[in-house]
Structure 1
């Protein structure tokens, strides 16, 4: 078989997640007559969701890049792959493998969704029967493009299956504004046709589409619409079976998360061992090297919070204890007897205690502490659910958007206070206290800070930095990671378009500024 990495050839066999195509791939996925009933539409739509849990998307490639580009996580092991260090230091090359592979995988998602949407046109049943299933494909396509447009800006936009290779090979970029218009249309379709509830939160329901609409509008600065969509979710929390999980720790416990009402849309990893399909790597990437406390064999200490994250996070905040590990357990050898014992050591001596290439900083605990069975060493292939959207974020979206249209409103204060009340309940502390009477500027600062701590290490921070253009502030000498000398606001809010794509299709030029 000849391997094609060309973007537009990735439609072939995308349902089963294969990118090794024959010389003539056109029509392999959906020959005439493939789509006969609603189950066929669902099969194609399921292909899009299958790609989401691949290594090249949320398994580690895209997710790790998002984490490292924020201001809360830095490289812990300086010997890790240069492709990771480039994101942390803002000197990303156009052939960075994390970008190239996540780009291709995301377009595979889109291809599968497009096949489902096009195939639905061939199924002759009432809209009321097929549209709730087709809406899964619309949601997946909107979800994929929402990540791409925030990372790359102008991008190729495909909304139909590729049947003409020559035409596809000369497609040009679509402006950001038009991409967002299409994303909104996809989520609107999904909101209209998805049911109020699904059998699992890994299958998007109406609340997921509406929550993502709120986030899309927040991202593009249409605050009234962002508030309206978020308020629609809040007003229907009973209908949608939503609420804040009483114990913040349970959100990151694989044995409890499935029964929680807080997740709105998750990527559900199942402890898979079949290569990189369905296997996550966060426990390995963020776990403490040689740590024995969770029976995972220790992690790789790649993505580790900066010390200032620990120093500036108020000790009274229960979320800090849940989110960070400040001790590790190591095999310590007695220098006289040679006998090994397990001993707990504080983060100040992690490296000296056996962490080797690790670093003396607290490590992320959300993806190591209670992730269930794992398929391979270092915690890879866990049973963790990764929350793409949860109810606490909807409350914070509503607060942020409302503050922009009704400055300092009591209602906006109230949404933040609901999130803070749950944080207090974890340890009986009076912190974080309720807020009241803040000005628009102060409330804007508070809600962004609340997002930083509530959603810490959940791959949200970089997108917040970008949409609020916070780079010059958070990457300065007073930032959590200290000064990032390579950060350039004229360049680094966007990633480079993959070099291979530009070689294969010059119509995608120009490259993003600065690369």
Structure 2
């Protein structure tokens, strides 16, 4: 969030997981700090600020999710081994991506726990206290939702930690119980949050409902997933939600304040940071090496790059392909197609590159670092997709489900004000299995490179197809008995034997 006072965050935050002494997350006890609702809001803001970090949304977590899926592969083979290992299913429990975003996740959770504990001690307008506390409940649920999908059984901490010895020997909480706690947090948030917020970087009632829908879809509780998504759809006017008319506008930082499609964003400040807080590397990581377009001084790094299969599989008449991919760059003052990118860089690759973050980095430093992106973690389009998928599982071939997909396709036909005739509407009468395939493909294209695809591969158990010889990104060593989970950090298990054993295969 762009108005956070980072010095206050640094003073507030001090707990981690089992490595609590070394990884600070919240120094002041709730009873000594929380005197006003403003204090409570500062603590909740601190939790969200920790998301806008290089260790979390600015690189480590998001790049891991991007590379783990089948829409982005390693471009520059000289990039660090920890990234190649995530991509190639060769991870070990000391992987540097995990050992960065794991403690940062518990920093976010620790700050949220401080705010929740502070709210319980605060006197005053209880409705307003609950409204702010609900932000922290959402933050905690959001973070655990990522952790549980990535790791399975994990330590679950739901208290403000004043004495680190209380969690020195904490054990893992079963995945099913973690999900129960996530749902409880989101239910509280849905009840207590307002219909709208002054910024989409704060969650609203609709945000909580949309994430409940996502959680229920992951758990294959389709009726509940449909109910929560339909609640958002039916009340979109109250929640001030709608599809943005032009798909490109969703990925231009200057437009962020006017958009009605996002339900929750993680905001970066643009050329302003405190350590790794505010540090965003997604633009350069996905950008074209030594590109001279001027949008990002110095060009990108070609780390996460789609395979040619991704490009070839995507119909060129789909406007979303043009928005999502860069296929030309400027070298030596001349425009060149992607088939020539490697000719101008020893570490470049002849493939299209991801454009959603590199094309318009907003206010940023060299290579597009320290951007002013408001990264959308959930948008109304995904709510429509959740409603369509869950309803199709309840009532195969549902015309209502088809209608939700056609809303997205209608928007995709708007090419910067020019209305095209592709993609066509889905016709009535398709079977349940046909519509299921259409919806999953629609998710892959609509949400391309938005850190969703790995979770879809995992929940649908389609890894052997996605990474098989006919998949978008073949990886012959993908092992479904191991690779649907990441390894828990080995140093955590060494410090606390109660967290052992590691996930199967690690």
Shared fold per TM-score greater than 0.5: yes
1:266 and 1:387 in contact (8 A); partners too: yes
C-alpha separation between the residues in 2 aligned to 1:165 and 1:289?
Answer: 45
1:17 and 1:50 in contact (8 A); partners too: no
Question: 1:391-414 CA distances to partner (integer Å, 9 max, x unpaired)?
Answer: 000000000000111111100000
Shift of 1:135: 0.5
C-alpha separation between the residues in 1 aligned to 2:153 and 2:15?
Answer: 27
| Equivalent residue, structure 1, for 2:144 | 145
| Equivalent residue, structure 1, for 2:353 | 363
Shift of 1:294: 3.4
Secondary structure of 2:229's counterpart equals helix
2:425 matches 1:434 = yes
| Equivalent residue, structure 2, for 1:416 | 405
- Relative to structure 1, the CA distance from residue 13 to residue 434 in structure 2 (aligned partners, 3 Å threshold; closer, same or farther) is same
C-alpha separation between the residues in 2 aligned to 1:17 and 1:171?
Answer: 17
Secondary structure of 2:157's counterpart equals coil
| Equivalent residue, structure 1, for 2:366 | 377
Shift of 1:370: 1.7
2:338 matches 1:347 = yes
Shift of 1:429: 2.4
Shift of 1:259: 0.3
Q: TM-score, normalised by structure 2?
A: 0.94
2:279 and 2:370 in contact (8 A); partners too: yes
| Equivalent residue, structure 2, for 1:4 | none
- Relative to structure 1, the CA distance from residue 242 to residue 113 in structure 2 (aligned partners, 3 Å threshold; closer, same or farther) is same
1:490 corresponds, among 460, 481, 503, to 481
Q: CA RMSD in A?
A: 1.9
Question: 1:8-48 CA distances to partner (integer Å, 9 max, x unpaired)?
Answer: xxxx9673589899799898322643212211211111111
2:269 and 2:370 in contact (8 A); partners too: yes
1:291 and 1:355 in contact (8 A); partners too: no
2:394 matches 1:405 = yes
- Relative to structure 1, the CA distance from residue 494 to residue 380 in structure 2 (aligned partners, 3 Å threshold; closer, same or farther) is same
Query: Structure 2 regions of 5+ residues with no counterpart?
Result: 1-8
2:451 matches 1:452 = no
C-alpha separation between the residues in 2 aligned to 1:403 and 1:397?
Answer: 10
The answer to which of 421-430 and 305-314 deviates more is 421-430
| Equivalent residue, structure 2, for 1:124 | 123
1:188 and 1:209 in contact (8 A); partners too: yes
Structure 1's consecutive aligned runs of 4 or more residues displaced over 3 angstroms after TM superposition are 12-28
C-alpha separation between the residues in 2 aligned to 1:323 and 1:22?
Answer: 42
2:498 corresponds, among 487, 492, 507, to 507
| Equivalent residue, structure 2, for 1:6 | none
C-alpha separation between the residues in 2 aligned to 1:23 and 1:305?
Answer: 37
| Equivalent residue, structure 1, for 2:314 | 313
1:194-213 → structure 2 map (5 Å cutoff): 194-213=193-212
| Equivalent residue, structure 2, for 1:294 | 294
| Equivalent residue, structure 2, for 1:327 | 328
Shift of 1:58: 0.4
C-alpha separation between the residues in 2 aligned to 1:472 and 1:24?
Answer: 37
C-alpha separation between the residues in 2 aligned to 1:259 and 1:17?
Answer: 35
| Equivalent residue, structure 2, for 1:188 | 187
| Equivalent residue, structure 2, for 1:267 | 266
Shift of 1:125: 2.1
Shift of 1:373: 1.4
| Equivalent residue, structure 1, for 2:284 | 284
Shift of 1:514: 0.3
| Equivalent residue, structure 2, for 1:176 | 175
Question: 1:314-367 CA distances to partner (integer Å, 9 max, x unpaired)?
Answer: 011000011111100012xxxxxxxxxx00001101110x13201000011111
- Relative to structure 1, the CA distance from residue 27 to residue 465 in structure 2 (aligned partners, 3 Å threshold; closer, same or farther) is closer
C-alpha separation between the residues in 1 aligned to 2:30 and 2:114?
Answer: 11
2:169 and 2:498 in contact (8 A); partners too: yes
Shift of 1:121: 1.1
Secondary structure of 2:421's counterpart equals coil
- Relative to structure 1, the CA distance from residue 210 to residue 21 in structure 2 (aligned partners, 3 Å threshold; closer, same or farther) is closer
C-alpha separation between the residues in 1 aligned to 2:313 and 2:287?
Answer: 21
Question: 1:426-481 CA distances to partner (integer Å, 9 max, x unpaired)?
Answer: 25322111112111111111100000000000110000000100101110000112
Secondary structure of 2:100's counterpart equals helix
C-alpha separation between the residues in 2 aligned to 1:318 and 1:29?
Answer: 51
